[in-house]
A and B are shown apart, each in its own frame.
Chain A
Amino acid sequence: MYRQVLKAQWLAARLPVVLLALLGFALPLLIVTYGGSLENAPSDRVAQWLYAAEKIGTLIPGLALLVGLLLGIGAWAPDHAGKHVYALSLPVPRSMYVLLRFAAGGTLLAAPVVALGLGSLLAVEAIKLPVGVHAYPLQLTIRFALAALVCYAIFFSISIATKRAALVVLALICGAFLADLVLAVLSVSGSASVTTTAFYLLTNWPGPLSILMGRWALFDV
């Protein structure tokens, strides 16, 4: 069963998967291409390069988010199109079917993760690092894999939710913005912004999106 679900999911999502894998492969190479030769470069140029590499590195959590978004939503797209009639008519418990879909989509995550890993290894091989600078290809790849998995799980859950659940989430988001607007209109000083607090809670430990924040460096001192 799993093999067939995986195959069906691959056939549905192969184009985005391939494109994401190409992006994952290219990003680490972009960092070294930008750096040029650094073997005997002065320290201020190395620092400048590290800063630029870090900036390019911020695209990697963005890629993890994109991978999670496209594969999470893509996992249910064929069933949504058929209003889930086929899925509901299959002789498996619903929980089992959800697991099959999740596992299949999770397996497809491997493509961009492996591509990023290979790209990172190739990037590290392609450059002679100045003294004191280290490469972290494995750590970056593992972190990317975890971030993509978290994002995938979030978007997979949102995608499977009922219209009512989606409306509740939408209402909460609108409510937060509305609360901020009311606070601003009333010129309430010293009170915390609802959206800022929500963003802080989501993007700081133990918030689920905290894995996307912080430094994403392939190279560091």
Chain B
Amino acid sequence: MSNAIETFDLCYRAGKHFEIRDLGLKVREGSIYGFLGPNGSGKTTTIRLLLGMLKPVRGTITVLGRKVPEEMARIMAQTGYVPERPHLYPYLTLEQAVRYHAAFYEGFDMAYAGEMRRTFGLPLDQKLSHLSKGEMGKLHMLLVLAQRPKLLVLDEPTDGLDPVVRRDVLSALLDFCSQGSATVFISSHLVHELERICDWVGVLDNGKLVVELPMQSFKNGIKRIRLSGAPSLVGDTPFVVLQRETTGTEQVWVVRGWQPPMAQWFEGVGAAVKEVMDLDLEEGFVELLRSSRAPVS
């Protein structure tokens, strides 16, 4: 299977304190890829690099099999982009904004846009400056989905929306995905939101890709293990140790890439596994970030 988005050795610097380092993303065609990271980790910058809005210091970017930024116009013709902040012209009415947007896309589906507008309950003659945040979020989704894109790049599309609107927007997205084979690249810091819809996840922290793996592996592979008699020094382990804490005679390890047969490894080093606990995605995400910032020795 080919990749809808691929970056290699991507580097970008903004000022003295922020940089994207050696970013190697691989977003498979047809996948829903959740791009997770705390605020300020570089998600929006990465998206802007992918869409040719920023120029990298080095590295290559390929989107839908085309090079960025050389073939940007062709890429954007097949890409729907919802930015972090509303960018549409506020003095246009909703109808004018839809017509303006449609003029740039050959395959814009006006009938579908009308249908979605009615579903979302958006008023045609309302100026965009008078729309609520939720209505604006719905309008953005309406515009990009009616483009019938091959790739959707959504930068925190539900940030700041109330739960009802968030559900509406994500339902529309999932409906669209079920109709075809579009790839979705969705960034968020709302972990639970991505858990429900994504099949791949990449975690970015401080401009660096911490991990990129299928959502199932992410969800099932991170465990909290309660041990007794664990060694103080850790050599090579068959899993990645994210965190270790000692409480009395016991130790609690948080590990990534865990599989049940790996319990034997502990027996080999004289430790006994007392309990293996599942972590929800948010806990796993937090532990991943913690370990990337202060690796366990």
Interfacial residues, chain A to chain B (CB-CB below 8 A): 1, 3-5, 7-8, 11-12, 78, 81-83, 85-86, 88-93, 96
Does B51 touch A at the CB level, under 8 Å? yes
Q: Please give the distance in Å from B83's CB to the nearest CB on chain A.
A: 5
B98-106, B157-165, B231-239, B242-250 - the one binding chain A = B98-106
Q: Is the interface of A mostly helix, strand, loop or mixed?
A: helix
Q: Please give the distance in Å from A220's CB to the nearest CB on chain B.
A: 43
Per the bound structure, the CA–CA distance linking A78 and B88 in Å amounts to 9
- Chain B 59-87, CB-CB to A under 8 Å as 1, else 0, gives 00000000000001111110101010111
Per the bound structure, the CA–CA distance linking A11 and B90 in Å amounts to 11
Q: Is B91's CB under 8 angstroms from A1's CB? A: no
Known A-B contacts A4-B100, A89-B51, A90-B104; the reply to A78 vs B91 at CB < 8 A is: yes
Per the bound structure, the CA–CA distance linking A196 and B73 in Å amounts to 46
Q: Is B87's CB under 8 angstroms from A83's CB? A: yes
Partner pick for A91 among B87, B99, B100, B104, CB 8 A cutoff: B104
**A96 partner residues in chain B, CB cutoff 8 A:** 73
State the total of A-B contacts with C-beta under 8 angstroms. Answer: 59
Q: Is B74's CB under 8 angstroms from A86's CB? A: no
Per the bound structure, the CA–CA distance linking A35 and B201 in Å amounts to 79
Q: Is A12's CB under 8 angstroms from B89's CB? A: yes
Q: Is A89's CB under 8 angstroms from B76's CB? A: yes
**A4 partner residues in chain B, CB cutoff 8 A:** 99-100, 103
**A88 partner residues in chain B, CB cutoff 8 A:** 51-53
Q: Is B83's CB under 8 angstroms from A89's CB? A: yes
**B87 partner residues in chain A, CB cutoff 8 A:** 82-83, 85-86, 89
Per the bound structure, the CA–CA distance linking A93 and B77 in Å amounts to 11
Per the bound structure, the CA–CA distance linking A86 and B51 in Å amounts to 12
Q: Is the interface of B mostly helix, strand, loop or mixed?
A: loop
Per the bound structure, the CA–CA distance linking A90 and B105 in Å amounts to 8
Q: Please give the distance in Å from A90's CB to the nearest CB on chain B.
A: 5
Most A C-beta atoms less than 10 A away, residue of B79, B86, B103: B103
Does B96 touch A at the CB level, under 8 Å? yes
**B86 partner residues in chain A, CB cutoff 8 A:** 82
Partner pick for A85 among B53, B77, B79, B92, CB 8 A cutoff: B53
Most B C-beta atoms less than 10 A away, residue of A12, A91, A92: A91
Q: Please give the distance in Å from A130's CB to the nearest CB on chain B.
A: 50
**A92 partner residues in chain B, CB cutoff 8 A:** 73, 104
Known A-B contacts A7-B96, A91-B73; the reply to A1 vs B103 at CB < 8 A is: yes
Q: Is A8's CB under 8 angstroms from B74's CB? A: no
Known A-B contacts A11-B91, A82-B87, A85-B83; the reply to A90 vs B76 at CB < 8 A is: yes
Per the bound structure, the CA–CA distance linking A83 and B52 in Å amounts to 14
Chain B residue, CB-CB nearest to A11? B91
Chain B residue, CB-CB nearest to A14? B91
Q: Please give the distance in Å from B69's CB to the nearest CB on chain A.
A: 10
Per the bound structure, the CA–CA distance linking A68 and B19 in Å amounts to 41
Q: Is A93's CB under 8 angstroms from B91's CB? A: no
Q: Is A82's CB under 8 angstroms from B104's CB? A: no
Known A-B contacts A7-B96, A8-B92; the reply to A91 vs B76 at CB < 8 A is: yes
Besides A5-B103, A85-B53, A88-B53, 11 other CB < 8 A contacts? A1-B104, A4-B99, A4-B100, A78-B89, A88-B52, A89-B83, A90-B76, A90-B104, A91-B79, A93-B73, A96-B73
